Structure 1
Amino acid sequence: MTAASAGGVGVWELRRPERQLLAGCLLLVALGFLMVLGSGQAAGRRLGLLDLLPLLTYAASLLVIHLTLVLFQFRGDQMLPVVAAFLSGLGLLAQYRLGAFEGADRWANVRFIFPGGVLVMLAVCIAGMRGRYRRLAAWPWVWAGLSLVLLAGVLITGQRFRGAVYALGFITPTELLKITVLLFLAGLIDRDAKALGNWGHPWPVPPWLIPPFGALLPLLGFWALLAGLLLLQRDLGMFIILSVALLVLLVAGTARWGYLVYGILAATGVGYLMLTLFAHGQRRIQAWQAPFDDPTGTGWQILQGLSGMYSGGLWGEGFGRGNPEYTPIAESDFIYSVIGEELGFFGCAAVVVFYLILFARGLRIAGRTGPPFGMLLGLGLTTVTATQTFLNIGGVTKFIPLTGITLPFISQGGSSLLVAFFTLGLILAISDGEVAKTRPQQDKPKRRRGRADA
């Protein structure tokens, strides 16, 4: 047996828990599809072989994920692929339930977007594993320029719909900002961490009071341009997500909590200005505070979503037996209300638990990563995903105002799904580098015992 094949067998055995958990995900999603198909047949709908295509595509995708990771001897985190498989499988099932695969292009989501997301995740993971992702730190300002060009291009060539600006075909390429801006922030803060952490000079004041404006000036200039373009596009949700990531990375990269204090003060001032100057933000706040003041207008979506979740109770109506068609944009922004209506409180709780596992694993990977760039990138990507999830679920449950943000891996939206898989691929690559670094230390005792036995 060659060394390569021995290593392959080792990885095959090492990833047995992942294989078993992926099989469990497939079983749960298959049961859900059977529930939906049974409900459709009871309602008089004619079923054909094509109705099994989403499930078959999902099963094939899980097989490709596992075999690819084994083939390339990936030794990183095993829970992240499982969590992504469960959440994306639930999203695929919910989209099928809502009729997203009906019409002339009904199978585009199955044939291209979901398998494409899986391939993107695997390609990014393989390209960046063994520490190769660190090469992305070499060009922070290239990522900054790409982000601004992307935003400007969408504003110039895009079309406005429901307040936001979209590219042709209602594509949202600005989702890529979750990658390009994070690469810029991680690379810049890693490079300039000492200067950014040098507070309190030259004035004779407490060191926690005066930030290093000289070192911050390029970053603040970029952020002003980014904020202006995002506000012109009325993408408040993206601005919030990226701003939270900025504060988290500044604090983590410099160990200066003053950034968080000033960030909160700045967020308060910007929020007040937006409520004062932009009618769009005022309407969303009013709909959040008093949806019954305009129950058939601005408050309609919130009230219908809450009504659907309330009707689900603890156990839900069952997949295929609810009435999500009464909730506007149920397949995208309000997919969580559909889960609450048809799977109940326990279904929603299960989704939240899987998200918490995703965030905990991401933070654990970032905390174990030695290179500062890897730590910052892993922390930033996890923060972006966690903030996006909080904004969506918080808006649907009326905990916070609506922001129009999708739910990662579950909501309909090709750009959002592809970027979510891209993000996961980077986190997986970071996790593989950490495991590869620690493995030789674990192998040393075995070699010493072998020499003693000889």
Structure 2
Amino acid sequence: MPRIPGLKTHRNAELALLACAMVLVVVYSWTVEANQYDKVSPAFWVPAALLSILFFGLHMVVRFAAPYADPVLIPAVALINGLGVGFLRRLDIARAIARKLPEPGIFSGTSGRQLAWTLASLILAAVLLLVIRDHKVVSRYAYTLGLVGIVLVMIPAVLPASMSEINGAKLWIKLGGFTIQPGEFAKLALVSFFAYYLVRKREVLSLASKRFLGIDFPRGRDLGPVVTVWLLSLLVLVFEKDLGTALLYFGLFVVTLYVATERASWLIIGLLMFFGGVYIAYLLGASVGGPFANFYDRAQVWLDPFNAANYNRTGGSYQLVQGLLGLGTGGLFGTGPGAGSPSYVPEVRTDFIFAGLGEEIGLFGLSALLMIYLLIVERGLRAAIAVRDSFGKLVAGGLAFTLGLQVFVIVGGITGLIPLTGQTTPFLSAGGSSLMANWLLVAMLLRISDAGRRPASQDRAVGPKQPPAQLHGAMTEVIKP
């Protein structure tokens, strides 16, 4: 869609914000090398420069394919992505120093792989923007996407543990040295299916049956979809051994249902069903064991992580305690980029990257990072409000909520608010599946925000008024205001 002359698209503002974000990444990289080597190499800026080129390429695609898209989304996500690459390189440098090796190359180690995954992710995001020029096209394939989403969710559950289990959670597909987390892509497909289904069934699901404590509750016959998704979530909890994924899918559906019907009773029913199911799973794990035992053990670790019986390196509270100690060591201001000891935290490259980064940037730095996540979610919700069609509203709202809930699940697990999960921190953790899926999520938000911010009628916005169209064979006219 070409831009309309005379109307602001704020693409220059996006470019300026992107430049500021990359300057912060350069400063972070400089500080890391200064603290690790007591000097700064001449090429410290190269990873940030490569990232800047990649993000600038996506910016140019947006100028062409979605000129009215939200100008804040790309810079905010690019900042988190850039800091993630910078912190992973900090870990690579620390490993090289510990092994008395020369400084790692730009494209080596975990940070080099993350750079490659960032390139692939941005290419996918650009392709989505170029191919899907109208988000409503996605609704034509809603049932196919729903089926694909369910299949992606269930594949790790049916595979043997040797091909799907990492750290007690069956969320992966492992083929040789290659791993992929299909659930990351399933959430995108399920959001589209939920949105299409709820747009068609919104009026039926909005009907009230009984009023209790001033709240209108739905009819019993309309609980079928909620019960179905609830059972699917419990199956994920039991067979994939992951509370976070189960909460993500069920929370996504219930919140999307609430947005579609504007009835708080769906939220109350959803919360009661989910936490009731989790409590029953906990009791069954304590009494009969079996497939519920893993969740019971994780709950015990969460309830008392410093208990000596729970403190072990394999499946116990060791990584949770180390993460909490790392956060406590950082204090308010942190030890400084590159000046901490994040290598003492297990899985610091993936699940616990928030704890490792928190040791070095402190509570204030983590609060700023969470504010950036909050800003991304807020801009996604703003796109949902601005777009004119119901399908777009539900898709944008669902995607924004999914991102926010994923951040809550992983940060809540690291800080001990909820049991640990296998979720990754969006755009920050090492891993290609999460990075690609979340950049596709951002691309979809850009597409929907472009539709919402674009003028409803180009003829109304600029140019001379067109004469009213004469309907063929009828004594009437279409009058355009």
TM-score range, shorter chain: 0.7 to 0.9
Aligned match of 2:299: 285
Q: 1:93 aligns with which of 79, 86, 103?
A: 86
Aligned match of 1:194: 203
Using the TM superposition, give the Cα deviation of residue 197 of structure 1 relative to its aligned residue in structure 2, in angstroms.
Answer: 1.8
Asked whether 1:172 is paired with 2:177, we answer: no
Asked whether 1:185 is paired with 2:194, we answer: yes
Q: Would the aligned equivalents of 1:8 and 1:73 in 2 still touch at CA under 8 Å?
A: no
Q: Would the aligned equivalents of 1:57 and 1:110 in 2 still touch at CA under 8 Å?
A: no
Alignment partners' CA distance in 2, 1:62 and 1:261:
41
Q: Would the aligned equivalents of 1:61 and 1:118 in 2 still touch at CA under 8 Å?
A: yes
Using the TM superposition, give the Cα deviation of residue 317 of structure 1 relative to its aligned residue in structure 2, in angstroms.
Answer: 1.1
Q: Would the aligned equivalents of 1:127 and 1:133 in 2 still touch at CA under 8 Å?
A: no
Q: 1:243 aligns with which of 244, 250, 257?
A: 250
Q: 1:296 aligns with which of 302, 311, 319?
A: 311
Q: Would the aligned equivalents of 1:199 and 1:212 in 2 still touch at CA under 8 Å?
A: no
Using the TM superposition, give the Cα deviation of residue 38 of structure 1 relative to its aligned residue in structure 2, in angstroms.
Answer: 2.3
Alignment partners' CA distance in 1, 2:108 and 2:370:
34
Q: Would the aligned equivalents of 2:149 and 2:187 in 1 still touch at CA under 8 Å?
A: no
Asked whether 1:341 is paired with 2:337, we answer: no
Aligned match of 2:124: 120
Aligned match of 1:259: 266
Shifted more, 322-331 versus 310-319: the winner is: 310-319
Asked whether 1:424 is paired with 2:439, we answer: no
Using the TM superposition, give the Cα deviation of residue 323 of structure 1 relative to its aligned residue in structure 2, in angstroms.
Answer: 0.2
Q: 1:109 aligns with which of 106, 110, 113?
A: 113
Aligned match of 2:429: 411
- For residue 249 of structure 2, what is the amino acid of its counterpart? L
Q: Would the aligned equivalents of 2:406 and 2:426 in 1 still touch at CA under 8 Å?
A: yes
Using the TM superposition, give the Cα deviation of residue 76 of structure 1 relative to its aligned residue in structure 2, in angstroms.
Answer: 1.2
Please state whether the residue corresponding to 2:152 is helix, strand or coil. helix
Relative to 1, partners in 2 of residues 1:153 and 1:305: Cα closer, same or farther, differing over 3 Å? Answer: closer
Shifted more, 148-157 versus 241-250: the winner is: 148-157
Aligned match of 1:208: 216
Aligned match of 1:161: 166
Shifted more, 133-142 versus 362-371: the winner is: 133-142
Q: Would the aligned equivalents of 1:314 and 1:346 in 2 still touch at CA under 8 Å?
A: yes
Alignment partners' CA distance in 2, 1:419 and 1:286:
32
Aligned match of 1:451: none
Aligned match of 1:379: 397
CA displacement, residues 254-294 of structure 1 (integer Å, 9 cap, x when unaligned): 22222112112211210111212222222222222221113
Q: Would the aligned equivalents of 2:299 and 2:419 in 1 still touch at CA under 8 Å?
A: yes
Using the TM superposition, give the Cα deviation of residue 220 of structure 1 relative to its aligned residue in structure 2, in angstroms.
Answer: 3.9
Relative to 1, partners in 2 of residues 1:10 and 1:93: Cα closer, same or farther, differing over 3 Å? Answer: farther
CA displacement, residues 402-454 of structure 1 (integer Å, 9 cap, x when unaligned): 2222111111121111111011111110000011234748835x869xxxxxx
Alignment partners' CA distance in 1, 2:187 and 2:181:
12
Two-structure CA RMSD over aligned residues (Å)? 2.9
Aligned match of 2:475: none
Structure 2 length-normalised TM:
0.82
Q: Would the aligned equivalents of 1:200 and 1:207 in 2 still touch at CA under 8 Å?
A: no
Q: Would the aligned equivalents of 1:315 and 1:345 in 2 still touch at CA under 8 Å?
A: yes
Structure 2, unpaired ranges of 5+: 94-103, 285-291, 466-481
Asked whether 1:39 is paired with 2:44, we answer: no
Aligned match of 1:452: none
Please state whether the residue corresponding to 1:245 is helix, strand or coil. helix
Alignment partners' CA distance in 1, 2:90 and 2:459:
50
Q: Would the aligned equivalents of 1:173 and 1:415 in 2 still touch at CA under 8 Å?
A: yes
Aligned match of 2:53: 60
Identity of aligned residues (%): 27
Using the TM superposition, give the Cα deviation of residue 108 of structure 1 relative to its aligned residue in structure 2, in angstroms.
Answer: 5.1
Aligned match of 1:30: 26
Alignment partners' CA distance in 1, 2:84 and 2:419:
23
Relative to 1, partners in 2 of residues 1:228 and 1:289: Cα closer, same or farther, differing over 3 Å? Answer: closer
* Count of paired positions: 434
Asked whether 1:150 is paired with 2:157, we answer: no
- For residue 172 of structure 1, what is the amino acid of its counterpart? Q
Structure 1, unpaired ranges of 5+: 449-454
- For residue 296 of structure 1, what is the amino acid of its counterpart? Y
Q: Would the aligned equivalents of 1:123 and 1:425 in 2 still touch at CA under 8 Å?
A: no
Asked whether 1:15 is paired with 2:29, we answer: no
Q: 1:141 aligns with which of 131, 140, 143?
A: 143
CA displacement, residues 29-69 of structure 1 (integer Å, 9 cap, x when unaligned): 001111122233239xx9685x6552232121122122222
Structure 1 length-normalised TM:
0.87
Q: Would the aligned equivalents of 2:259 and 2:394 in 1 still touch at CA under 8 Å?
A: yes
Asked whether 1:356 is paired with 2:374, we answer: yes
- For residue 69 of structure 1, what is the amino acid of its counterpart? V
- For residue 298 of structure 2, what is the amino acid of its counterpart? R
